[in-house]
Amino acid sequence: MQEIIDSLSKVLDPGGLIVGEEAVEQQKSWSLGASTASVIVRPKTTQQVSELLKICHAAGVSVVTQGGKTGMVRGCVAAAGDVVLSLERMTAIESIDELGRTMTVQAGAVLQTVQERAEELGLLFPLDLGARGSATIGGNISTNAGGNRVIRYGMMRELTLGLEVVLADGTIISSMNRMLKNNAGYDLKHLFIGSEGTLGVVTRAVLRLRSFMPSQNTALVVVQEFEALAGLLKSADAGLGGRLSAYEVMWNSYYEKASQREGHKAPLEPGYPYYVLIETLGSDQQGDAQSFEAFLELALEKELIVDAVLAKSYAERENLWAIRDNIESMLALWPLSVFDISLSIDQMPGYLDKISAQFKAKWPDTFAQAVFGHLGDCNLHLVISVGSEEPAVRQQVEEIVYSALKSRGGSISAEHGIGLEKRDYLRYSRSEAEIALMRSLKSMLDPKGILNPGKVLG
């Protein structure tokens, strides 16, 4: 390994290489757990990434790329012999095209910085998620991140116009398209979006911006029946003139814990079956507020909702979102497992009934769960506790959650990816032919298997 370290050091400035104890120490984080790599390279340019990968490729040394390390599926855990490639020094916002509404960034740029830079110019980068202060654009691209506004603007795939990627052997593929339309052959960026660092290292990207939306209306509402959740979504979609930007549902099992925040009174009493956080983004502050209120009144009249609280200020809006984002409150269920799945809305009640019955039968005294999710995107998050941290028990819980998705055409991963965590269950959501094609692509682009080994496909 020393020989490799010597070669890597020649590509980088002294601050670009961290080895030994200091590297192991830096790998200590909640999302990495068992990461034990003792070499971290911190390039500043695509050219350096290319040189580093050439060295690792020639020596057959595996490389694990890390962005903000906020991933939820152990996608950037590195083993002792791996080289960690960190994008933390590639954070530049290179340019903004206000007319074409694009931003060109290095892959280590932090999501929140990108959002704020766009906002300064009256523009919007719509991707938004709880880890915005640490997650990077490269990580967002590599996981095809979703988040809170997918219903309006799509996932990271829809927000990425161009990409620069370095392949395992150091080849630079610069596909920095800035146009909405470009059908010149295969659109190669889609190969790398969502590939979780297994097909190439994303070094730069062209992001699609939108107009900043000055009017934001947010409400928390109570829904009594699951069918009304779907009906409310349909009428919000149709009745709010395309402005619906979030439709976040919390089952009471989640809301009753998440709404208990020190110093804050729950805006609506817990105990109802469902709570929905509805938000619109628009450009006409007065008109949007009026039509939002009219929509809520109509929903009350039609008995789609039975109670509602409307945010009247920025602080009130933040308070409503703080409940939705209060994932820490789930620690009350410890030991627990968190799942990110998707399935069509009409399948959700049957699915949840089935897995709950299985859990109750197997762990009658210790089973507890909480459910919430981006329902408008067919995405549920499940917090399941059966009272044990044992890996064998966790496996039994996973089997129940994932196997019931198979017959319903659901997905074992809605937005977090596969990483190490869901690798053994990929076949529940993908056919043999699909997995075989994934393997062919992997071996074509990374014949020595040095990029993020063991992740996604194993």
Residues that bind ligand FAD (CB under 6 A): 64-72, 75-76, 87, 107, 129-131, 135-136, 138-140, 142-143, 145-147, 196-197, 201-202, 415-416, 419, 452, 455
Q: Report the nearest approach of ligand FAD to the CB of residue 315 (Å).
A: 21
> Cα(first)–Cα(last) distance of the chain, in Å?
24
Q: Which is nearer to ligand FAD, 65 or 319 (CB)?
A: 65
Phi and psi at 332, nearest 5°, equal -60, -20
Q: Report the nearest approach of ligand FAD to the CB of residue 140 (Å).
A: 4
Q: Report the nearest approach of ligand FAD to the CB of residue 69 (Å).
A: 4
Q: Which is nearer to ligand FAD, 142 or 385 (CB)?
A: 142
Q: 301 is written with which tokens?
A: 């009249």
**Rounded CA separation 50/172 (Å):** 7
Q: Which is nearer to ligand FAD, 138 or 267 (CB)?
A: 138
Q: Which is nearer to ligand FAD, 294 or 331 (CB)?
A: 331
Q: Which is nearer to ligand FAD, 73 or 386 (CB)?
A: 73
Q: Report the nearest approach of ligand FAD to the CB of residue 201 (Å).
A: 4
Are 96 and 102 in contact by the 8 Å Cβ rule? The answer is yes
Are 349 and 230 in contact by the 8 Å Cβ rule? The answer is no
Using a 10 angstrom Cβ sphere, with 0-12 exposed, 13-18 middle and 19 or more buried, the burial of residue 455 is: buried
Q: Report the nearest approach of ligand FAD to the CB of residue 293 (Å).
A: 28
Q: Which is nearer to ligand FAD, 136 or 245 (CB)?
A: 136
| Number of other CB atoms surrounding residue 225 within 10 Å | 14
Q: Which is nearer to ligand FAD, 358 or 411 (CB)?
A: 411
Phi and psi at 204, nearest 5°, equal -145, 160
**Rounded CA separation 382/42 (Å):** 36
Are 10 and 51 in contact by the 8 Å Cβ rule? The answer is no
Query: Which of 227, 428, 251 is CA-nearest to residue 356?
Result: 251
**Rounded CA separation 123/140 (Å):** 19
By beta carbon distance, the residue nearest ligand FAD is: 139
Q: Report the nearest approach of ligand FAD to the CB of residue 205 (Å).
A: 9
For helices 2-11 and 46-59, what crossing angle results, to 10°? 160
Q: Report the nearest approach of ligand FAD to the CB of residue 2 (Å).
A: 25
- Compute the C-alpha angle 183/201/337, nearest 5°: 105
User: Strand, coil or helix: what is 195?
Assistant: coil
Q: Which is nearer to ligand FAD, 369 or 413 (CB)?
A: 413
Position 396, amino acid:
Q
Q: Report the nearest approach of ligand FAD to the CB of residue 141 (Å).
A: 7
Q: What is the CA radius of gyration of the chain?
A: 23
